[in-house]
Structure 1
Amino acid sequence: MKLVKPLALAAALVIPAFGAVQAQETRPNIVLILIDDVGFSDLGAYGSEIATPNIDALAARGALFSNFHASPICAPSRAMLMTGVDSHLAGVGNLPESLPLEHRGEPAYLGHLADDVVTVASRLQAAGYRTTMAGKWHLGHDEPDMLPPAHGFDRSFALDASGADNWEKRSYLPIYDTAPWFEDGKPADLPEDFYSSKFIVDKTIQYLDQGEESGKPFFSYLAFQANHIPLQAPREFVDKYVGRYDKGWHELRQSRFEGVLGKGLVPQDTALGPMPEGLKEWDKLSDDEKKSFAMNMAVHAGMLEAMDHHVGRFVEHLKETGEYDNTIFLVLSDNGPEPNDPLATPGFAQWLWWVGYSRDLDKLGEKGTYAFIGPEFASANAAPGSFFKLYAGEGGIRVPFIVSGEGIPALGTVNGFSFITDIAPTILGIAGVSATDEFEGKRVKEMTGRSLLPVLRGEKASPYSDEDAVGMEAAGNVALFQGGYKLVRNMPPYGDGEYYLYDVAADPGETEDMKEAEPERFAAMMAAYRDYAASVGALEVPAGYEQMKQLTVNRLHDRRGQLIAAALVALAVLAGLVWLAVLGVRRLVSR
């Protein structure tokens, strides 16, 4: 057994004889589309009832990955996507907002990209690409060197928070005072006609048009807010799905499972993964509750279709400008579907009222409204996997991934295992750019991911052998893959904190624990995980830790610190005023 080590990209990873790309006189443009919180079976190409024709068209002419994995949390996934380096080595081992206080300041949990990692954008920029970014960044903004301009992007319009409103510049959670948007590293406002998916495409088109005369190839990163809470979408998209989900999440989960099977994305004898314990039963809900849940899911579907619509606008623009035929697209989700029910947090309903958010079903999705699907519909969107976002079950980390474009063979479904760190070296390989452990005269961490070009050329099913062990940890949730097996631990409230072993090649629903049947494999993979954790600096979370509860703990802790600091300043000012008064009295007495 060998643990996957960081590796330098050699010239062999550059695309030699890679279909039509070889014949191009110029290097290909590269478009990276990141969808937020979309489940494995949410896209039409992956068996969904939601209309995503533009992304489906990209999938039809390229490679659709059925065994691709990310982190279960957005910030660690984005760190790995941008750098090709394990999230802990990149400095973003957990969501910064829910980091245990004990982990603050540790190298693996900085909450922003470490100084010794380099983004794929920086490497492409240095190689002569023009680079743009629009959408959610979430990799730090406390200092200017944390924002996209310092990480290789010529132009950027970035949100650095876990999410925000999609219609206006406002916070979506009480842990944020505002929505921190930055253009080219400077605080920025949003236009009056802002809608996130439309705006992200509009900005990218604007940036590309402004640099068109340079003649350089481009790398564009479109990081959509869809489908992060609050779920919001124009009425014309939502109305298509009103009534579609009236039969509830059990019916949807079964239909999604059948859709996945029909697409051949998992073995035909796959068993549907279980829903976590403690979730609601549809048949036990009141009619009003059913109507509310179904409407929230309709907004989810409308938001995803709206995003796909704007992806289609972007594709059409590339066709009109003559760039489409020399552009390669990579499309993926950062993690599984969002399960959080914010109303379950004490005081949240009052906060919604206080800041003016509505849950009126007749307007849900429109400006000023706040929708979310909760863990039950999230479980359906993750079918056939178990769990969802925040957890290391397949429903939380097995996500859609599509590679398409001129020179990419129409491979159809790719079943071999791959991981989100593999995308950066793949992009560099497509561009013909090598990545070493030195950048601009500075030693940097080598990529832990492996190029997928041999897979795209049909030479391999996976960049990993059966001996390679690929680890992942986020907020105490653990996964380690090796030879078709998966070691996994899911933390409370929906997990139990115990380790399990699954043959995910045959059982992607994680329905049969194999640790007692294969104790030697279980022990070996446990040892491999310990080696992985030690090599990247992953720490155990404190007893009783829960991610969503920690958000509140951290906010209160930081607020308390701010209040104490303010109180000390006030006392200092008061002391100064008293001293001045004493001096005044002394002068009067002396006179």
Structure 2
Amino acid sequence: MTSNNKPNIVLILADDLGYSDLSCFGGEIDTPNIDSLASNGLRFTQFYNSARCCPSRASLLTGVYPHQAGVGEMTEDRETPGYRGFLKDQCVTLAQVLKGGDYHTYLAGKWHVGKQGPIKKGFDEFYGLLGGFTSFWDQKDYSRLPEGRPQHQYKDGEFYATDAITDYALDFMEDSRKDDKPYFLYLSYNAPHFPLQAPEADVAKYEGMYDRGWDRIREERFNRLKELKLIPEDAKLPPRSEYWSRDREIHGVIPSWDSLDPDRQKDLSKRMAIYAAMVDRMDQNIGRVIEDLRENNELDNTLILFCSDNGACGEWDPWGFDNWITTSNFLHRKGDLDKMGGPNSYHSYGSGWASACSTPLRLYKHYGHEGGISTPLIAQWPKVVTRQGEIDHRPGHFIDFMATMVDIAGVEYPEKYEGHQILPMEGKSMLPAFLGKEEEQRTLCFEHEQHCGIRHGKWKLSKIKERDWELYNIENDRNELVNVADIYPELVEKLTSMWKQWADRTNVTPRPKTNLYQSS
């Protein structure tokens, strides 16, 4: 424990994790270490991200909406204020703000918010992936900054990214103990983002588990969510989801599992087994971090937060792809199945499994519907969060992390930084929620690739790019099954106006003239 009694902060971010993948959120994947955080802390059921990796990371780091930070889409510079593809000088990061409170600041894992890099944006030490995704087996794409810092030496076949990221995280935590300053560790795993790759022993644990298919898995998760009281007893499971190709020229509905050819079932079952193994391996490594905190008597005064950067990855059709550039699929049969997940493989798992991983919510990554923007959030801080094992249904957003850390660390959020006027924080501190205080009504807005949403109290407008706004009463229809837009046209008009005002204010508009992402 630090002598000044400020808490250490460990913010753990998973990449493309579905809402119900964790066993403490209804999943069948073995996640005992994350589950221990839930049983000793709080689970938030209605916490939101920004539907995609880069925008979510921008909000998480800066406390403003992604377009305000300049990362409304990905890291291409679209030469439009909300779409520069990097964090603008008008925002500050958690690392920059916490350094003002005498914190050590560390990042182990994935950056993916532009060319300036984590060291320029306030992190003392970095190891990980500067871009969006790459092989988990090839260490050449992982960087150590500042340059010249000591590095682990991994023999051929020993490197696996999730393990290596944790190795450096533990190094950074040990480094912080040279003095009595607290530390902020942003532990940003690139698992379970594609390419789906995992050690054979971990994959073997899940061989055959998914042979029963996504329809059964959805039903089983849905029932467990009810048993865990994470969703109401009278909730209804949405039908199998729609899907779109990357260029949106192909559109369909995910087929029933029983309608698939047996070879296709085996291929898809193996893809999901690898995905589950990646989540399992991440949990094992989070266990290493928890144990290190315990051994060093830091666990009681460390705030640990766990969340995912967006909903499950439905890119693009139900079969998954084996080549990111072309999104083409290869049907693996017989001996090829044994090679899946290894160093020479490349897979995603497709919208069929993504729909299952989003259970009980509609849609997935990219979309403003609940399945695209909802994350499981777990908060453990034994010294302060005494609501052990409780479930909290109040809404929150990644923009809240900045306000929370300013609050609990007693640091000042700057009006100016390095000569630049800084945007005010958009979020609210989560400390009242940690303490069980009464919630306030929130208005939260979303936009990514013209998929939109606005949450205002119990009401939610959701919009798929090519379609009209849909209205849902989230209080009794979180799964967005009953569109009541025709019943409440005045409310639709009011919320649409509120969303447009937000979009103008936060640089959602003007939009770039071309969509470079879809043409790539």
Structure 2 length normalisation: TM-score? 0.90
Equivalent pair of 1:299/1:371 in contact (CA under 8 Å) = no
* 3-state SS of paired residue (1:400): strand
Aligned counterpart, 1:302: 277
CA deviation string 1:468-507 (max 9, x = no partner): 432111111111010111111123xxxx432111111211
Aligned counterpart, 1:428: 406
1:401 is aligned to 2:371: no
1:532 is aligned to 2:502: yes
CA deviation string 1:498-550 (max 9, x = no partner): 2111111211110000111111111100110111111111137689x8x8xx5
Q: How do residues 53-452 of structure 1 correspond to structure 2 at under 5 angstroms?
A: 53-96=32-75, 104-141=78-115, 146-169=116-139, 179=141, 181-184=143-146, 191-192=154-155, 193-277=158-242, 278=252, 279-340=254-315, 341-343=320-322, 347=326, 360-406=336-382, 407-411=384-388, 412-439=390-417, 442-452=420-430
Residue 14 of structure 2 is aligned with which of 19, 29, 35?
35
CA deviation string 1:372-413 (max 9, x = no partner): 211001000001101011111111111111110222122510
User: Structure 1: how far apart are the matches of 2:431 and 2:62?
Assistant: 17
Indicate how the Cα distance of structure 1 residues 481 and 311 shifts in structure 2: closer, same or farther if over 3 A, else same. Answer: same
**Equivalent pairs, count:** 499
Aligned counterpart, 1:48: 27
Residue 484 of structure 1 is aligned with which of 458, 462, 471?
458
User: Structure 2: which 5+ residue stretches go unaligned?
Assistant: 243-251
User: Structure 1: how far apart are the matches of 2:189 and 2:451?
Assistant: 25
Displacement of 1:184 in angstroms is 2.3
Equivalent pair of 2:51/2:310 in contact (CA under 8 Å) = yes
Equivalent pair of 1:359/1:369 in contact (CA under 8 Å) = no
User: Structure 2: how far apart are the matches of 1:116 and 1:207?
Assistant: 29
Indicate how the Cα distance of structure 1 residues 490 and 180 shifts in structure 2: closer, same or farther if over 3 A, else same. Answer: farther
Equivalent pair of 1:359/1:370 in contact (CA under 8 Å) = no
User: Structure 2: how far apart are the matches of 1:552 and 1:71?
Assistant: 19
Indicate how the Cα distance of structure 1 residues 265 and 540 shifts in structure 2: closer, same or farther if over 3 A, else same. Answer: farther
User: Structure 2: how far apart are the matches of 1:454 and 1:349?
Assistant: 48
RMSD (Å), alpha carbons? 2.5
Indicate how the Cα distance of structure 1 residues 469 and 36 shifts in structure 2: closer, same or farther if over 3 A, else same. Answer: same
Residue identity over aligned pairs, in percent, reads: 34
User: Structure 2: how far apart are the matches of 1:419 and 1:304?
Assistant: 23
Q: Which has the larger radius of gyration?
A: 1
Question: Structure 2 counterpart of 1:401, which letter?
Answer: L
* 3-state SS of paired residue (2:205): helix
1:454 is aligned to 2:432: yes
* 3-state SS of paired residue (1:148): coil
Question: Structure 1 counterpart of 2:519, which letter?
Answer: V
Indicate how the Cα distance of structure 1 residues 197 and 346 shifts in structure 2: closer, same or farther if over 3 A, else same. Answer: closer
Displacement of 1:129 in angstroms is 0.5
Question: Structure 1 counterpart of 2:294, which letter?
Answer: K
> 404-413 or 527-536, which moves further after superposition?
404-413
> 64-73 or 274-283, which moves further after superposition?
274-283
Equivalent pair of 1:227/1:304 in contact (CA under 8 Å) = yes
**Could you say which structure has the higher helix fraction?**
1
Equivalent pair of 1:423/1:451 in contact (CA under 8 Å) = yes
User: Structure 1: how far apart are the matches of 2:275 and 2:436?
Assistant: 36
> 369-378 or 57-66, which moves further after superposition?
369-378
Indicate how the Cα distance of structure 1 residues 202 and 531 shifts in structure 2: closer, same or farther if over 3 A, else same. Answer: same
User: Structure 2: how far apart are the matches of 1:211 and 1:112?
Assistant: 29
Question: Structure 2 counterpart of 1:243, which letter?
Answer: G
Equivalent pair of 1:476/1:541 in contact (CA under 8 Å) = no
Indicate how the Cα distance of structure 1 residues 334 and 186 shifts in structure 2: closer, same or farther if over 3 A, else same. Answer: farther
Equivalent pair of 1:274/1:509 in contact (CA under 8 Å) = no
User: Structure 2: how far apart are the matches of 1:66 and 1:458?
Assistant: 15
User: Structure 1: how far apart are the matches of 2:402 and 2:324?
Assistant: 37
Question: Structure 2 counterpart of 1:248, which letter?
Answer: G
Equivalent pair of 2:471/2:485 in contact (CA under 8 Å) = yes
